[in-house]
């Protein structure tokens, strides 16, 4: 798929009353879906008018080299004098004139896409939130956007019908509309028109009939977001059913049955599988099956089976018998499983990093260099979501941590602790604020804190470089969120 997407999510508007809850989440999550579907994605969040205009122009220029162009926006959209505008976080909502001249006209985006002339042009606008303009400037159309003409080869999708308002919530961390997009976009071989019908049904149902999404289309030809050939990663030399290993079916061979038993979640069957694996003729196992063995060895070890745990604790020596020339396909599978799920899609978070220290010890061993170059290549499209990638030469991850020292009395006794207040990478705050659904905080010592933060960052302990204003030796107790989330903004 030769497709380019510009994804914009604006939530942090200047005035508190204009801020949105989920617009940045919407852009982050939808951008990742498109990435996994093979789009080249440029994602911008909380952009100013200047950045918005710059990115639109760049999109128009770059799009000339692509067959498919997609523009997605989540944020405040306005209808002024029958024309539609998308707002930046510094758009002035003082009155309709200032809003119009500090926003981006949707027609401008359409013009750039028309000039680039890709075969298919898609605009998705989750932009009919509460109208920030004072009531006297809203006009008779209220909160919604106006109907708009779709030029030949274009489909324009709105989160709600003309003149109506869309919800900024309703689907977990996403709006109802974007939540429906995310839910249906991986459906296989669904024409885009039917895809949006599925989205409309979900939106209508989840909003109890209060919101109906709407499209205007003049598309010619067929397009499916997921043609059944998801882009899992780059140039993988393995069979599709071993990349999306949920599709693996045993042919009854010895190695197939070993894999089936490793996947059984039964410790006795898993132990037997590892015993048989040590005695099988390695020459009869092809590269794809070795890759799948590696994935399932890691899964089995994480599940707690003792033999698999022993392998992970002695990984260097155990892998020596599994080389094919200079390649170690089992290690490729282990590394792939950390970052990619059973559908072959990038996990984004909740990586399988329980044995990250044991696995990444091999990074400095020249024998395993090709495996780490392999995973580096697979992670290249997803660098925005990964804090640490095993590169050559070997590098470390610099993180700045801040604590607030808290003192209090209880029953005439003095107590104190250090409250985690900031986690930064390259001067960007990573620590997500706790939501109302969180269960408060936990108290840990410094050693446990290091374990938690290395797991969240998916970085081995010896590659993490923490900087802080205080000596760790004086820290007795750290209070931190129960489910700490660290995210690149």
pLDDT, one tens digit per residue, over 331-369 is 999 999 999 988 888 877 789 999 999 999 999 999 999
Q: How confident is the model at residue 144 (pLDDT cuts 50, 70, 90)?
A: low
Q: What is the mean pLDDT of residues 46-56?
A: 93
**Alpha-carbon distances of 418 from 254, 338, 424, 476, rounded to whole Å:** 55, 32, 17, 8
**Can you tell me which residue has the tokens 């750039």?**
112
In the chain, DSSP finds a helix count (H) and a strand count (E) of 16, 17
Q: What rounded mean pLDDT belongs to the chain?
A: 87
d(CA 331, CA 371): 6
Q: What is the pLDDT of residues 5-15, one digit of tens each?
A: 999 999 999 88
For residue 103, with 0-12 CB atoms within 10 Å meaning exposed, 13-18 middle and 19 or more buried, which class applies? buried
Angstrom distances, CA of residue 260 to CA of 245, 269, 311, 333: 11, 9, 18, 16
Q: Which long-range contacts (CB under 8 A, 24 or more apart) does 112-117 make?
A: 112/56, 112/57, 112/59, 112/60, 112/63, 113/60, 113/63, 113/69, 113/71, 113/154, 114/151, 114/154, 115/60, 116/60, 116/61, 116/63, 116/64, 116/66, 116/69, 117/64
Q: Is the pLDDT of residue 143 over 60?
A: no
- List CB contacts of 108: < 8 A, sequence separation 6 or more: 56
Q: What is the pTM of this model?
A: 0.64
Q: Tell me the pLDDT band of 440, cut-offs 50, 70 and 90.
A: confident
Place 139 in a pLDDT band, splitting at 50, 70 and 90. Answer: very low
| Cβ atoms of 97 and 137 closer than 8 Å | no
Q: How confident is the model at residue 136 (pLDDT cuts 50, 70, 90)?
A: very low
Sign (positive/negative) of CA torsion 453, 454, 459, 462?
positive
> How many residues are given for the chain?
489
Place of tokens 């080869």: 153
Q: Check pLDDT > 90 for residue 125.
A: yes
Confidence of residue 234 (pLDDT cuts 50, 70, 90): low
Rounded CA separation 331/372 (Å): 9
The closest of 4, 68, 30 to 219, measured between CA atoms, is 68
pLDDT by residue (tens digit) across 420-438? 999 999 888 998 776 544 4
Contact 121, 154 (CB under 8 A): yes
- Give the 3-state secondary structure of 451-483: HHHHHHHCCCHHHEEEECCCCHHHCCCEEEECC
Contact 119, 153 (CB under 8 A): yes
* Confidence tier at 447 by pLDDT (50, 70, 90): very high
């Amino acid at each position: 798929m030769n497709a380019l997407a510009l994804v914009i999510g604006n939530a942090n508007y200047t005035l508190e009353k204009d801020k949105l809850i989920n617009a940045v989440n919407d852009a982050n999550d939808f951008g990742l879906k498109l990435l996994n579907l093979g789009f080249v994605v440029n994602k911008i969040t909380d952009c100013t008018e200047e950045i918005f205009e710059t990115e639109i122009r760049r999109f128009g220029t770059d799009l000339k080299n692509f067959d498919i162009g997609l523009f997605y926006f989540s944020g405040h959209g306005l209808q002024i004098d029958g024309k539609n505008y998308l707002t930046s976080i510094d758009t002035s909502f003082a009155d309709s004139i200032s809003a119009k001249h500090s926003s981006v006209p949707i027609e401008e985006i359409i013009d750039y896409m028309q000039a680039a002339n890709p075969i298919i042009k898609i605009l998705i606008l989750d932009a009919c939130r509460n109208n920030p303009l004072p009531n006297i400037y809203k006009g008779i159309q209220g909160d919604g956007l106006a109907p708009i003409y779709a030029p030949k080869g274009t489909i324009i999708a709105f989160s709600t019908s003309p003149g109506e308002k869309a919800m900024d919530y309703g689907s977990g961390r996403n709006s109802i509309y974007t939540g429906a997009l995310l839910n249906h976009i991986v459906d296989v071989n669904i024409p885009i028109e039917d895809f949006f019908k599925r989205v409309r049904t979900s939106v209508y149902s989840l909003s109890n009939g209060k919101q109906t999404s709407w499209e205007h289309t003049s598309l010619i030809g067929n397009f499916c977001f997921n043609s059944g050939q998801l882009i899992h990663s780059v140039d993988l030399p393995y069979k599709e059913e071993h990349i999306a290993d949920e599709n693996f079916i045993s042919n009854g061979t010895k190695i197939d049955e070993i894999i089936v038993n490793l996947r059984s979640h039964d410790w006795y069957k898993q132990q037997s599988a590892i015993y048989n694996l040590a005695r099988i003729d390695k020459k009869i196992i092809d590269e794809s099956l070795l890759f799948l063995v590696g994935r399932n060895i890691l899964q089995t070890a994480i599940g707690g089976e003792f033999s698999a745990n022993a392998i992970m604790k002695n990984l260097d020596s155990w892998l020596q018998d599994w080389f094919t020339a200079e390649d170690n396909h089992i290690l490729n599978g282990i590394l792939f499983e950390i970052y990619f799920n059973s559908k072959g899609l990038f996990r984004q978070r909740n990586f399988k990093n329980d044995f990250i220290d044991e696995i990444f010890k091999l990074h400095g061993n020249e024998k395993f260099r090709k495996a780490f170059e392999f995973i580096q290549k697979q992670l290249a499209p997803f660098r925005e979501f990964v804090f640490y990638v095993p590169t050559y030469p070997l590098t470390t991850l610099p993180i700045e941590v801040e604590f607030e020292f808290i003192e209090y009395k209880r029953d005439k006794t003095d107590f104190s602790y250090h409250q985690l207040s900031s986690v930064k990478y390259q001067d960007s705050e990573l620590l997500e604020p706790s939501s109302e659904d969180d269960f408060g905080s936990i108290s840990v010592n410094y050693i446990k804190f290091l374990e938690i933060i290395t797991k969240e960052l998916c970085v081995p302990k010896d590659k993490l470089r923490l900087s802080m204003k205080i000596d760790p030796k004086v820290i007795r107790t750290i209070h931190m969120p129960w489910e700490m989330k660290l995210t690149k903004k």
